[in-house]
Amino acid sequence: MENCTIYVPRLITKKENFAPGHRACIGCGEALAVRLAFKAIGQNVIVVNATGCVEIFTSQLPYTSWRVPWIHTLFENTAAVASGIESARKAMIRKGIIQDTKTKIVAIAGDGGTIDIGLQALSGAMERGHDFLYICFDNEAYMNTGIQRSSATPFGASTTTSPAGKESIGQFAWKKDMPAIAVAHNIPYVATANPSYPFDLMAKVKKGLEAKGPAYIQILSACPTGWGCPGELSVKIGRLAAKTGVFPLYEVENGKYSITVDFPKLLPITEYTSLQKRFRHLQPEMLEQIQQKVVRKYEELKEKTEMSGCCGQTGTEE
C-alpha cells in the first residue's frame, strides 16, 4: 500500500472529468463509480444524464461537476435522447457538417430511470442498434426521492414504499434481472461492475465504449443513506456483494458469458446483509431462503459461462 501513490497514477489517469465539489452524500458509492467510469471514458464524450441522484448532485445552477459536454432533459427518456444525439452526429458527419471526432455517446441513469420508468426507451434504443454506452448506476431504490423501492431493489430489503412490518418482509419481489434483458436484445456488450473493483469496472467501461453498437453496464453503487450503513463501509459492502454472490461481476460479449471476478467459495450472504439496516428485520429462515437462491443463481451464471467456453479469473484485484 505504501507504493500506491507511485503505481496507481501509472494505471489510472489523474485527470478528473467528473470534478470534485458535488453534493453527493458522504460515502456515496455512485459518486465513486461515476468518477471511475469517467476516468475510463475520457473527454471525447457527450453525456446524457437521466433525472436522479447523479443529475441532482452534480448540476445545481450555476455550478456543474462535469468537465465534458453533458445534457439532462427528463427521467425516463435518457436512451432516446442519446439515440437522437448519436443519429444527429451520424447524419451531420456524413453530410460534412461536422468532423468525425469519434466522439462517444454515454447515457447514465439510476436503477429507477433504467429498469423501471426508462426501460421502454432503453429497449427501443438497444433494439435499433444505436452506437452508445448505457451505464446504470444501480443503488437499488429511488434514493433521490427518499428510498422508495424500484424493481432493482433486492428481495427482503426494507424501503419507504416496501417497509418491513408485521405483515411485510419488505421488498416482495426478486431483483429484476436487467442484464439478462439487455442480453436478450442481442447487443454486443453487457456487463456488471462495482466500484469496489475499480480495474474491473474501468476495463468494462472501456470495452463498452469500444463495442460497435449498444453496450449496457450495470454498476452496483452502495448507498449508505438508503441501505443504512456507515459511509466508510461503502467499498467494503461492494466487495461483499461480489464475494457473497449477491451481485456477481460478469460480462457478456456477443452473447458469451464470463465471470470476470470469480469466487470458488462464496461467503455467506449474512456477511453482506448484516452490515445494512435495510435487511436487519430478516429472520434466519428468510435469510436461508435468500442464501439458497443466491447460490442457485450464481451456479446458473457459472453454467452459462462454461457453456460459453470462457473461464473466469479467480479472485483478481484481491
Partner 1 sequence: MSKRVGIEVSIALADVVGMANTDVVAAYPITPQTHIVEHLAELVADGELDAEYIPVESEHSAMSACMGSAAAGARTFTATAGQGLELMHECLYVASAMRLPVVMAVANRALSAPISVWGDHSDVMACRDTGWIQIFTENGQEVVDTALCAFRISEDNNVLLPTMVHLDGFHLSHVIEPIIMPEQSQVDAFLPPNKYPFFLDPARPQAMGDFAPPAIYTETKWAQEVNLQKSKETVLKAWKEFAEIFGREYKPVESYRCEDAKILLLTMGSYSETAMTAIDKMREQGDGENVGLLRLRLWRPFPTDELRKAVENADVLIILDRALSFGSAGGPVGMEIKSALYDVSKKPRIVNFVGGLGGRDITVGNFEELIKKGIDIAGNGSENEFEIFGVRE
Binding site for partner 1 (CB under 8 A): 43-46, 48, 55-56, 59-62, 64, 66-74, 76-77, 79-92, 94-95, 97-98, 101, 103, 120-121, 123-125, 127-128
Q: How far is the CB of 94 from partner 1 (least distance, A)?
A: 7
Q: How far is the CB of 206 from partner 1 (least distance, A)?
A: 17
Q: Which is nearer to partner 1, 104 or 302 (CB)?
A: 104
Q: Which is nearer to partner 1, 60 or 168 (CB)?
A: 60
Q: How far is the CB of 5 from partner 1 (least distance, A)?
A: 28
The letter for the amino acid at 196 is: S
What is the grid cell recorded at 48? 446524457
d(CA 123, CA 27) in angstroms, rounded, equals 32
Q: Which is nearer to partner 1, 56 or 183 (CB)?
A: 56
Q: How far is the CB of 158 from partner 1 (least distance, A)?
A: 29
d(CA 194, CA 239) in angstroms, rounded, equals 8
Q: Which is nearer to partner 1, 63 or 172 (CB)?
A: 63
d(CA 125, CA 8) in angstroms, rounded, equals 36
How far from the centroid of its chain's Cα atoms is residue 223's Cα? 12
Burial degree of 165 (CB within 10 A; 0-12, 13-18, 19+) = exposed
Q: How far is the CB of 174 from partner 1 (least distance, A)?
A: 26
d(CA 231, CA 26) in angstroms, rounded, equals 6
Question: Which H or E element spans position 205?
Answer: helix 198-210
Is residue 138 within 8 A of residue 221, CB to CB? The reply is: yes
Question: Which H or E element spans position 71?
Answer: strand 70-72
Report the sign of the C-alpha dihedral through residues 267, 175, 131, 143, in that order: negative
Q: How far is the CB of 228 from partner 1 (least distance, A)?
A: 26
Q: Which is nearer to partner 1, 48 or 294 (CB)?
A: 48
Q: Which is nearer to partner 1, 53 or 191 (CB)?
A: 53
Q: Which is nearer to partner 1, 86 or 140 (CB)?
A: 86
Is residue 41 within 8 A of residue 17, CB to CB? The reply is: yes
Q: How far is the CB of 194 from partner 1 (least distance, A)?
A: 27
